[in-house]
Homo-oligomer: A and B are copies of this chain.
Amino acid sequence: MPKQGLPTAELIDLAQQLRVDSIRATDTAGSGHATSSMSAAELAAVLLANHLRYDFDRPDHPGNDHLILSKGHASPLLYSLYRAAGAVTDEELLTFRTRGSRLEGHPTPRLPWVDVATGSLGQGLPVGVGIAMSGKRLERIPYRVWVISGDSEMAEGSVWEAIEHAAAEGLDNLTLVVDVNRLGQRGPTRHGHDLDAYARRLQAFGWHTVEIDGHDVDAVDRAYREAASTTGRPTAVLAKTVKGKGVDAVADQEGKHGKPLEDATEAIAELGGVRAVHVDVHKPSAARTLHAVPSGHLTLPRFEKGGEQVATRDAFGRALAALGAARGDVVALDGEVGDSTRTEYFGKEHPDRYFEYYIAEQLLVAAGVGMQVRGHVPYVSTFAAFLTRAHDFLRMAAVSRADLNVIGSHAGVAIGEDGPSQMGLEDLAMMRAVHGSTVLCPSDANQTAKLVAAMADLRGIRYLRTGRGATDVLYGPDEEFPIGGSKVLRRSDADRLTLVAAGTTVPEALAAADLVAADGIDVRVVDLYSVKPVDAPTLWTAAEETGCLVTVEDHHPEGGIGDAVAEAFADGRPTPRMVRLSVSSMPGSASPEEQLYGAGIDARSVAAAVRLMVEKGVVR
Residues of A at the B interface (CB closer than 8 Å) are 29, 31-32, 72, 96-101, 103-106, 108, 110, 117-122, 152-153, 155-161, 164, 168, 184-186, 189-190, 200-201, 203-205, 336-340, 344, 358-363, 385-386, 388-389, 391-392, 395-396, 398-399, 416-422, 425-426, 429-430, 432-436, 532, 548, 556-560, 562-564, 566-567, 569-580, 586, 588-591, 594, 598, 613, 616, 618-619
**Which residues in B have their C-beta under 8 angstroms from that of A563?**
558-559, 563, 566-567
With beta carbons under 8 angstroms apart, the residue of B97, B359, B426, B572 that contacts A618 is B572
Contact between B588 and A101 (Cβ–Cβ < 8 Å)? yes
Is A391 a contact partner of B430 (Cβ separation < 8 A)? yes
Asked whether A31 and B190 contact (CB < 8 A) given A157-B158, A430-B391, the answer is: no
Q: Which residues of B contact A574 (CB under 8 A)?
A: 577
A569 / chain B contacts, CB cutoff of 8 Å: 575, 578
Q: Would you give the shortest CB distance from A187 to chain B, in whole angstroms?
A: 8
Write the chain B residue with the least CB distance to A99.
Answer: B590
Report whether A119 and B572 are in contact in the complex, using a CB–CB cutoff of 8 Å.
no
- Contacts A156-B157, A201-B204, A336-B184: A567 and B580 contacting too (C-beta < 8 A)? yes
Which residue on chain B has the smallest CB distance to residue A363? B157
CB distance from A536 to the nearest CB of B (A): 13
Which residues on B sit within 8 Å (CB–CB) of A164? 155, 190
B429 touches A558 (CB 8 A): yes
In the complex, are the beta carbons of B429 and A559 less than 8 A apart? yes
Q: How far is the CA of A186 from the CA of B381 in the complex (A)?
A: 14
Query: Is B399 in contact with A395, judged by CB distance below 8 angstroms?
Result: no
Judge whether B108 and A420 touch: CB under 8 Å: yes
CB within 8 A of A558: which of B72, B189, B567, B578? B567
**Residue of chain B at shortest CB distance from A420:** B399
Residues of B within 8 A of A420 (CB): 108, 117, 399, 435
Evaluate contact between B570 and A562: CB separation under 8 angstroms. Answer: yes
Give chain B residues whose Cβ lies under 8 Å from the Cβ of A159.
157
Q: List residues of chain B with CB within 8 A of the CB of A201.
A: 201, 204-205
| Shortest beta-carbon distance from A466 to chain B in Å | 17
B391 touches A360 (CB 8 A): no
Q: In the bound complex, how far is the Cα of B395 from the Cα of A386, in angstroms?
A: 10
A190 near B386 with CB under 8 A, answer no
User: Which residue of the partner chain, among B204, B395, B425, contacts A385 with CB atoms under 8 Å?
Assistant: B395
Query: A182 to nearest B CB, angstroms?
Result: 13
**A108 and B588 in contact, given A119-B422, A572-B548, A579-B572 (Cβ under 8 angstroms):** yes
Query: 11 pairs across A/B with beta carbons < 8 Å?
Result: A72-B421, A99-B598, A119-B422, A155-B336, A157-B157, A157-B362, A388-B392, A432-B558, A548-B572, A558-B567, A562-B567
What's the least CB distance linking A263 to chain B, in Å? Answer: 21
